[in-house]
Amino acid sequence: MKELDLLKKDWQKDTNFFEQLSESAIYKMIHKKSSSLVKWILIISLIEFVVLNGISLFINDENIDDFLIKHPYLDLINYVNYIVVISFIIVFYKKYRAITVLDSSKNLIQQIKATRQVVNYYILWNVLIGGFFGVFGIIDGFNNSFTKNNAVNTNIKYILIIIFVLLIMGIIWGFYKLLYGGLLNKLNKNYKELMKIDL
């Protein structure tokens, strides 16, 4: 192709055409912070974990204690949730380490794709666990506020439970979309563009 060869000729001769950076300018550059997306995913997940669990330590609500006494198995599930969330953070860390510019482009893209998947699973897990706890909370709420005198129709009760749980899950989903949405979008844009090429 003659156009590309014309460019190649020009390309190889204009070695000193760019404004040359001095050593001190390069020194300054290497002391700046990188803006790696995966690093941010890791940092945000850690902050989120610490803050959300920190809040629950400070809230000493008797209702919550009562709630957990009433449903002892939920406490167990709570611990399972801790383990799962910590595992996710470990995976984020591993991904952060695994994404290296020294890899071939294809491997790098696959790592990025995998990271995006993991974040999606993490969000899904949080939405589901939130919905799960929500069901118990709402059933309890119903039982407390509706006595036999003002009992509601069972069908309506179920419909309301479903609506409330979906609402809770929606709010949690929205929260995570807000938290990770920007980062995921960037990874996603990357990924879509790269998959078009079918490496």
Partner 1 sequence: MNESLEQLFVKQLKDNQNIIHKICRLYTSGEDAHKDLFQEITLQLWKAFPKFRGESKFSTWAYRVALNTAITLYRKSTRSISTVDYESKSYFISQEDYNTEEEEQLLLIYKAIHLLNDIEKALVFMYLEDKCYTEIAETLGISEVNTRVKMNRIKGKLKKILNP
CB of 4 or CB of 69, closer to partner 1: 4
Do residues 154 and 124 lie in contact, with contact meaning Cβ atoms separated by under 8 Å?
A: no
Contact 108/100 with Cβ under 8 angstroms?
yes
Q: What CA–CA distance (Å, rounded) separates 132 from 199? A: 41
State the nearest-atom distance from the C-beta of 124 to partner 1, in Å: 24
Residues near partner 1 (CB under 8 A) are 1, 3-4, 6-8, 10-18, 20-23, 26-27, 29-30, 32, 34-37, 99-109, 112, 186, 189-190, 193-194, 196-197, 199
Closest contact distance (angstroms) between CB of 196 and partner 1 is 6
Q: For residue 146, what are its two tokens?
A: 């509706």
DSSP secondary structure string for all residues of 48-98: HHHHHHHHHHH---HHHHHHHHH-HHHHHHHHHHHHHHHHHHHHHHHHHHH
DSSP state of 32: S
Q: How far is the CB of 30 from partner 1 (least distance, A)?
A: 4
Which residue number, 71 or 113, has a Cβ lying nearer to partner 1? 113
Q: Tell me whether residue 5 or residue 66 sits nearer to partner 1 (CB atom).
A: 5
The nearer residue to partner 1, 32 or 148, going by C-beta atoms, is: 32
Cα of 44 vs its chain's centroid, Å:
8
Smallest distance from partner 1 to CB 39, Å = 10
